[in-house]
Amino acid sequence: MARLQYSDFLRQLYGHKVQKLNVNAGFSCPNRDGTKGRGGCIYCNNASFTPAFGHASSSVTQQLLDAKLFYACKYADMKYVAYFQSFTNTYAQIEKLRELYDEALAVDDVVGLVISTRPDCLGDDVLDLLHSINEEHKVIVEIGVETSHDRTLELINRCHSWQCAQNAINKVAQRGLTVGAHLI
């Protein structure tokens, strides 16, 4: 069976060739602020994948405009998806989430969202919001699963279980959202 490249999968989902643009919206994480744990997962280093234009001191709009400029000279006719990647991108009050996601979708040629989060940060209110956005703009929810071994989850200080990840994957899929799992 032929494997589908991720870029082709995105093209099918969005109906265009799309480039993911990283956004650092200034979120924190319950595994760093003491809500679930302190110090975070043992490998946590968000700076390692944050591009030069992805600093939380800039607005979401400005980060996306800067990123678009970076890619615009490489590809003609490109569309974009805003990739909320840094930290836990559903970890805020629902109105704040709505405001940030709407801001991203208001940028020209941004046709969808990719939201990276923990499995224990996908309450019904968040899923309702993502479901409503998905009716007009496709949303991919990327869940940090990492492993199906609870012992390993404990060793890397994830502060959630494999069962929690399974529940989250099922809930996201049941809302008709596209779901991805990060493994380590």
List the structure tokens of 102.
Answer: 């709407």
Residue among 10, 20, 22, 32 that touches ligand SF4 (CB under 6 A): 32
Q: How far is CA 40 from the centre of its chain?
A: 18
Cβ 7 to ligand SF4, closest distance in Å? 24
Our finding on whether 25 is near ligand SF4 (CB under 6 A) is no
Q: Which amino acid is at 102?
A: D
Segment interacting with ligand SF4 (CB under 6 A) among 14-22, 39-47, 57-65, 96-104: 39-47
- How many residues are there in the chain? 184
User: Could you say which residues in the range 85-124 bind ligand SF4, by CB under 6 A?
Assistant: 87-88, 118
By CB atoms closer than 10 A (0-12, 13-18, 19+), residue 40 is: buried
Binding characters for ligand SF4, 145-184, by CB under 6 A (x = yes): ----------------------------------------
Residue among 18, 23, 29, 129 that touches ligand SF4 (CB under 6 A): 29
Cα dist from 178 to 47, 90, 105, 137, whole Å: 26, 16, 17, 12
Chain position whose Cβ is nearest to ligand SF4: 40
Helical segments of 34-149, H only: 60-72, 94-105, 124-134
Total H helices, total E strands in the chain: 6, 5
Could you list the residues that contact ligand SF4 (CB under 6 A)? Answer: 29, 31-32, 40-41, 44, 87-88, 118, 144
